[in-house]
A and B are shown apart, each in its own frame.
Chain A
Amino acid sequence: MNQVSIQQAEGRRKARTYIVMAVLAVLIIICFVVSMSTGQVRLTPIDMFKTLVGLGTAKQEMILFDFRLPRIVIAVLVGAGLAVSGAILQGVSRNGLADPGLMGINAGAGFAVAAYLMVFAKGGGESVLLLPFVALLGAFSAAGLIYLVAWKNGVTPIRLILVGIGVGLAFAALMILLSIKMDPHTYLYVEVWLAGSIWGSNWTYVAVLLPWIFLLLPFAMYKAGSLNILGLGDQAAAGLGTAVEKERLILLCTSVALAGSCVSIGGGIGFIGLVAPHLARQLVGPRHERMLPATALLGSLLLLVSDFAARNLMAPSELPTGIVVAVIGAPYFLYLLARSKA
């Protein structure tokens, strides 16, 4: 291929990326609007618009601003965060089957939050601001443990994933131990939350999560180049002058921090970090500067749709969102697994 046609191909790919992003953004907006209007109380588009500009009834305002909107915004943020966390993990481990949920990182964060709620908060309330920090502590403990156990003159991707599964099993057992010590009220609360429900449907939770996402997502995009280079393999990356271990550590920390903060608000939602990067790669190719934004958008879209389904499929009773995500994500994972090379 000569210089001109490479440039042409690159141009076409860029154009394609813009189109994909635009389509995804439109889909997210459509889902956003549909989500706002649907629920136990339906709002017509006109009512919704009126309410948004401040002309609705008090009841309509309450439904929209106090219940639906925060939840929808959280779905968008958590979806993007988990998806990018998975994309980084897959890039760093050079294994398309890596996922923070599968590898016990979510379980670590979940365990820390459950322990914290049990000891201090007894089922919700004032200390919400601390939740992301507690979850991060759990997520980093899990990740550190995985890295430590998997280390044996360096870590191989396979050992990393297998050890991750083991650490996840350990946290699951600890969680059972914790749950028998809980009072029934806290237990119910934690049970639903663990299944991955977007339970913090008020603006405080949005405010708590927002800074993390706003800091970590752009940082991940900024590190896209490093991810591309690490994807070439450790030797090639070192040959290109990259400090491989340092970059890997920074990226891993970013991924774990994203997963931890999202789990603290969204609960144990798995598979978004697996599915979104795969779809993004198919749509815009493997280069991370294009793939990461597409992954974030896809993650938001997936979680919005899942949350919408969770609220409305079995209405008036409500399913945890994580269950819907698992029902979509797990078969897709198994499909990928069946196609993967040994």
Chain B
Amino acid sequence: MVGNQSASVTHNQRVVTPKIASRPVAATLIIAAGLLALFFSLGISISLGAADIKLGTVWEAVFAFQPELTQHQIIQELRIPRALVGAMVGASMAVAGSIMQGMTRNPLAEPGIMGINAGAAFVLALVFAFFPGLSYHMVILYSFAGAALATMIVYGIGSLAPGGLTPLRLALAGTVVATLLQALSSGIAISFKVGQEISFWYAGGVAGSKWSQVAILAPWIAIGLIGAFIMARSISILSLGEELATGLGQKTGRVKLIGSVIVLLLAGASVSAAGPVGFIGLIIPHLTRFLVGTDYRWIIPSSAVLGALFLVLADIGARMVNPPVETPIGVITAVIGVPFFLYLARRDRRGL
């Protein structure tokens, strides 16, 4: 959750001024190496598929595009948008998870576990059933609304319960909200016979991504990510604890509100593009904190880069596990994510 320094701050012991552990050198290295790795894995992702294409051809298709070549067309029309959507979704989910964990000081906070993904998915099921053929612009707006719905339910319960949103409560509330929304979605799917469309999308994946999707998605995710970078310092302070943040003169209510809106933008846009892919928002922030310390000015850019890398790699994995069938990305992330979740659940810390 928060690093070693701030762990020593308890209610009895507020004299200790906490320091935000920051490792700028490590963080810079990670961002640089991460970007390099991301660049290469994007190349691999683009070259990989039913028709194997050499990396050299990929380079040519990008920098010396010849429209009459089929391979160049496959790369331009199918592979590049897929890789880009993957990178955007990975970065968004990871940053959304980072912000949530920082704001709530809860190690299990994550869009998937909190039911936010299921909320977006539920509203999309409604859209598939009642407004088929809606433009992708509108689909994104609807999935923001769905994400907001689930967040409000889970937060609402947290604020009603005495003692606030402990990790156990969060996991229970998120699971149950997700169960409820999934039940409603599958009820809609069965009644309106749109089950196949929904289940295809529900399994998660970036396979069918197009340039139009990239174009619509990019501004939302850019706004979310830039907003997150701007908020980074405030989130670092909030991650020290609400009382302390107030003591340092922070308007915590406002920070939480803006932070939540950013989470909704990032999670809602990602889900609309790739379906409810879980666990990225759980794993990457923990990994990043382990590597770069507890300063969110470094955590947020690092987790954006690592999240993008992670999802691009997961997408490559999804194609390689069982070719020519594509394994849903959600399964790949769960295979890595569930053991990590279990590790966190086993760990004894206060509040758990």
Contacts and interface: CB of A to CB of B under 8 A. Distances in A.
B97 to A, nearest CB: 15
| Interface range for B | 35 or more
Contacts of B168: 158, 161-162
B149 to A, nearest CB: 13
B177 A173 contact: no
Given A149-B346, A152-B346, A341-B162, A330 B177 contact: yes
A322 B346 contact: no
B190 A173 contact: no
B208 interface: no
A327 interface: yes
Interface string A316-328: 0101101100110
B24 interface: no
A2 interface: no
B325 interface: yes
A333 B338 contact: no
A330 B338 contact: no
B37 interface: no
Interface of A: 97, 101-102, 149-150, 152, 158-159, 161-163, 165-170, 172-173, 176-177, 179-180, 191-192, 195, 270, 314, 317, 319-320, 322-323, 326-327, 330-331, 333-334, 337-342
Contacts of B183: 195, 322-323, 326-327, 330
Contact of A177 (B163, B179, B327): B327
Contacts of B145: none
Closest 6 CB pairs of A and B: A342-B163, A173-B334, A330-B180, A326-B183, A162-B345, A338-B160
A328 to B, nearest CB: 10
B162 A333 contact: no
Contacts of A270: 179
Contacts of B162: 341-342
18 contacts: A152-B348, A161-B171, A162-B167, A162-B168, A162-B171, A163-B346, A165-B345, A172-B334, A176-B328, A180-B327, A317-B190, A317-B191, A319-B191, A323-B184, A327-B187, A330-B176, A337-B172, A340-B161
Interface in B179-222: 179-180, 183-184, 186-187, 190-191, 195, 199, 203
B171 to A, nearest CB: 5
A170 B334 contact: yes
Contacts of B177: 330, 334
Given A195-B186, A334-B157, A165 B175 contact: yes
B169 A169 contact: no
Interface of B: 153, 157, 160-164, 166-169, 171-173, 175-177, 179-180, 183-184, 186-187, 190-191, 195, 199, 203, 278, 325, 327-328, 330-331, 334-335, 337-338, 341-342, 345-346, 348, 352
Contacts, number: 129
A323 to B, nearest CB: 4
Contact of A158 (B327, B328, B334, B352): B352
B210 to A, nearest CB: 23
A322 B177 CA distance: 15
A342 B172 contact: no
A274 to B, nearest CB: 9
A97 to B, nearest CB: 6
A338 B157 contact: yes
A159 B334 contact: no
B345 A159 contact: yes
B171 A319 contact: no
Given A165-B171, A173-B335, A102 B195 contact: no
Contact of A331 (B180, B331, B334): B180
A327 to B, nearest CB: 6
Q: Which of A150, A338, A341 has the most CB of B within 10 A?
A: A338
Q: Which of A176, A317, A319 has the most CB of B within 10 A?
A: A176
B319 to A, nearest CB: 13
A188 B143 CA distance: 27
